[in-house]
A and B are shown apart, each in its own frame.
Chain A
Amino acid sequence: MDIRSQIAMVFHLDKCIGCHTCSIACKNIWTDRKGAEYMWWNNVETKPGTGYPTKWEDQEIYKGGWEKNGDTVSLKGAGKFKGLKNIFHNPHLPVLDDYYEPWTYKYQDLFTAPEGNDQPTARPVSLVTGEHVDVQSGPNWDDDLGGSPDYARQDVNLDKLTAAEQEAMFQLERMTFFYLPRICNHCLNPACVASCPSGAIYKRGEDGIVLINQQRCRAWRMCVTACPYKKTYYNWHTGKSEKCVLCYPRLESGQAPACFHSCVGRIRYLGPLLYDADKIEQAAAAPEDQLVDAQMDIYLDPFDPEIIRQAKENGIADSTIEAAQRSPVWKFVKEWKLALPLHPEFRTLPNLFYVPALLPTMAKVNDGVYDSTGKSLWNGVESNRLPMRYLASLFSAGNTEKIVAVMKRLMAVRTHRRSVTVGDTSREEAAAALEEAGIDADTADAIFRLTSLATFDERFVIPAAHREESIEMLESTADVKGSTGFGFKERPQRGL
């Protein structure tokens, strides 16, 4: 057993209001630079929808992620042979138009336009070429368009649904949708790391953050293909790939990453998980319907004395073990089993987990008659607005049982709290729902508390990074007094 610590995350989709504050916080800090304008390390998509870049989930197009190859896994569109063969032209690389052409407006024209009969306008200009552009698409062009033919109906996950199910999904005023915020998953089996020919991408041992060494990246651009979530981006100006850094300078000083910190809906949770690095390959190569369980098996119980002993032996700091015990991610993912990884069938073992959106129905329209005479306040999870099979395609590699179990637990918590606070559902009904979901009232209260009332320090449990130790390991701090820190020693400009 090789116990390591990983900073893991949970996004509670029932709480996401789709305000894009996270995206803007990230953009302002990290990607407001030439060549990076089109990058959204954090983006929020409307589901069903095609996402950003368009149809990123469709690996028939982009060839991202891993595929099962006997007892192990191999990269789908990259790897040693394919990577070096395609090094002069990568056939699966998304181009700028698959994302969108970034633009700004000529605001100065508003001041300098000569007097005339028309109002002066600020025309959009491309941030790549500087020429006028007719804006055709953007990073969140499908925002709120739950029923649109261009976006929602093109959703890759709909392929697994029958025509009738698809119709039912779009029936209700064509308004069934939820938001899916996405950042880098900092995977346990990262495809970007494995695909990088120059070895510039690596996973940090201490906290599992996946980073690209800008000094070693040579623009072979295989990581862009290999990441099935399309969360590595090519900077066309500097000729280097870039990705979400999980705001590691903030994490190292005990602050939550910017997108987490700024989240208005407080949907985001962050904390360490202990895991067994020896099991990664086996879990990544599990049969499709067991992928979620296999991944869950990797994460280890931070309260188990034997695990604690081995973790200490492996050099994990006491502060990290203690943080793993308080970790909200541990609770959501392992203790309560409410959160699932996004597209586990990509086999990268992502460390960002989602509590799926519940979206229950209270009534149905039958032949034009509004019928709310269900047995209970909400109908069963099977009649939720989103078909279970759609959610299973997103969060459990098609395993509907997993999704139904999560939904039942979420619904039980809701029913239970309703009976406590409002009282229009009976105690017996709540107790029955809890029993069916396999949780007790105390657990339901704890879930409710962490979901709705959690404070900053409960949502973000950040272990001390012990930067002081790591720097002293590498160099004498006296030698670099006044010169350590974060940033470039040479200007990030193109070429010589």
Chain B
Amino acid sequence: MTNYLLFVALPYASLFIFLIGSIYRYRNRGFSVSSYSSQFLEGRRLFWGSQPFHWGLFVLFFGHLIAFLFPKSVLAWNGEPVRLLILEITAFAFGLSAFVGVLLLVQRRLTNRRIQIVTSKMDVVVFIILLVQIISGLLVAYHNRWGSSWFAAFVTPYLRSIFVFDPQMDAIASVDSLSLKIHVVSAFTLIAFIPFTRFMHFLVYPLDYTWRSYQQVIWNWNRKRIRTSRSHSEGRKSTNN
């Protein structure tokens, strides 16, 4: 029953909250969607925390995505032990980088008075989820080798079953690794919290900046139509100011 709650009910609840919540917040509460950068209040320590943290997560996120989407290619790559080692060590290094980064960010937030002022309750939640997620991930990588290979056997089928609405939790529930279970549960918790926290900002990553033109001009009027409008009358300004 617990397994069912954690590995079937929670994922669906999370994905549902994530979808509806994110769309609602983006459309109706646009003003609140922001990365809430605090670099303006403190810049130097942010550099040592934010850079390793974000780049670490950035690489790991795509690593997980590739392992989920193309498990066979990853297995093929891992056919050579050297290549497996390179992959695992690289991934672990980025995990450590994210871990060190988040620790420095937590320390900065706890000790800098200005940053404390702009820390909300939800920011605390964000940090707890991130710590659990990153620590459990590192433990899995260290104790249950080699994740890039067994991911295809245990995690990919489970995740796929979730997304095709035919949940099969046996593979994941039978794994004898508490840290892996925590990692999965906390991942879905993180997804559920996206619409309620500053996690939102990664959804609005400005990818469209790469193809849009640099300058942006917005017209309120339809210029040509106003010009030809017959009913158009010239505005007159009051003269009493």
Which residues on A are within 8 Å of B, measured CB to CB?
75, 79-80, 83-84, 87-91, 93, 95-96, 128-131, 189-190, 193-194, 196-199, 201-206, 214-221, 224, 234, 236-240, 254-256, 261, 312-319, 456-457, 462, 464-466, 468-470, 473-474, 488, 490, 492-496
Q: A205-B220, A315-B226 are in contact. Are A131 and B118 (CB under 8 A)?
A: no
- Distance of B202 from chain A, by nearest CB (Å): 10
* Residue from B29, B219, B224 with most neighbouring chain A CB atoms (10 Å): B219
- Distance of A198 from chain B, by nearest CB (Å): 5
Cα A462 to Cα B239 in complex, Å, equals: 12
- Distance of B31 from chain A, by nearest CB (Å): 6
Q: Report chain B residues within 8 Å CB of A201.
A: 216
Cα A322 to Cα B212 in complex, Å, equals: 35
Q: Assess the B216–A199 pair: CB atoms within 8 A.
A: yes
Q: A80-B209, A215-B30, A494-B120 are in contact. Are A221 and B37 (CB under 8 A)?
A: yes
Q: Assess the B114–A199 pair: CB atoms within 8 A.
A: no
Give 28 CB contacts A-B under 8 Å.
Answer: A128-B114, A194-B214, A194-B215, A197-B209, A199-B206, A204-B218, A204-B220, A206-B220, A215-B30, A219-B36, A220-B35, A221-B37, A236-B38, A236-B118, A261-B241, A313-B227, A319-B235, A457-B239, A469-B226, A470-B221, A473-B220, A474-B220, A488-B31, A492-B31, A495-B122, A496-B122, A496-B196, A496-B197
**Tally of A-B Cβ pairs under 8 angstroms:** 185
Q: Assess the A220–B206 pair: CB atoms within 8 A.
A: yes
Q: Report chain A residues within 8 Å CB of B43.
A: 89, 93, 95
Q: Is the interface of A mostly helix, strand, loop or mixed?
A: loop
Write out, one digit per residue, whether chain B residues 183-219 have a CB within 8 A of any chain A CB (1) or not (0): 0000000000000111001001010111010111111
Q: Assess the A199–B209 pair: CB atoms within 8 A.
A: yes
Q: Report chain A residues within 8 Å CB of B196.
A: 496
Q: Assess the A202–B218 pair: CB atoms within 8 A.
A: yes
| Interface size, chain B (Cβ < 8 Å) | 62
- Distance of A341 from chain B, by nearest CB (Å): 18
Q: Does B40 count as interface, using CB distance less than 8 angstroms?
A: yes
Q: Assess the B219–A206 pair: CB atoms within 8 A.
A: yes
Q: Assess the B41–A219 pair: CB atoms within 8 A.
A: no
Q: Assess the A95–B39 pair: CB atoms within 8 A.
A: yes
Q: Does B140 count as interface, using CB distance less than 8 angstroms?
A: no
- Distance of A210 from chain B, by nearest CB (Å): 10
* Residue from B38, B42, B204, B237 with most neighbouring chain A CB atoms (10 Å): B237
Q: Assess the B235–A205 pair: CB atoms within 8 A.
A: no
Cα A130 to Cα B117 in complex, Å, equals: 9
Q: Assess the B218–A203 pair: CB atoms within 8 A.
A: yes
Q: Assess the B235–A465 pair: CB atoms within 8 A.
A: yes
Q: Assess the A205–B212 pair: CB atoms within 8 A.
A: no
Q: Report chain B residues within 8 Å CB of A80.
A: 209-210
Q: Does B238 count as interface, using CB distance less than 8 angstroms?
A: yes
Q: Report chain A residues within 8 Å CB of B222.
A: 473
Q: Assess the B117–A129 pair: CB atoms within 8 A.
A: yes
Q: Does B145 count as interface, using CB distance less than 8 angstroms?
A: no
A219-B37, A466-B221 given. 16 additional CB < 8 A pairs?
A: A75-B214, A88-B54, A96-B40, A198-B204, A198-B206, A202-B217, A205-B219, A215-B31, A220-B35, A220-B37, A240-B31, A254-B238, A312-B227, A457-B239, A490-B29, A496-B29
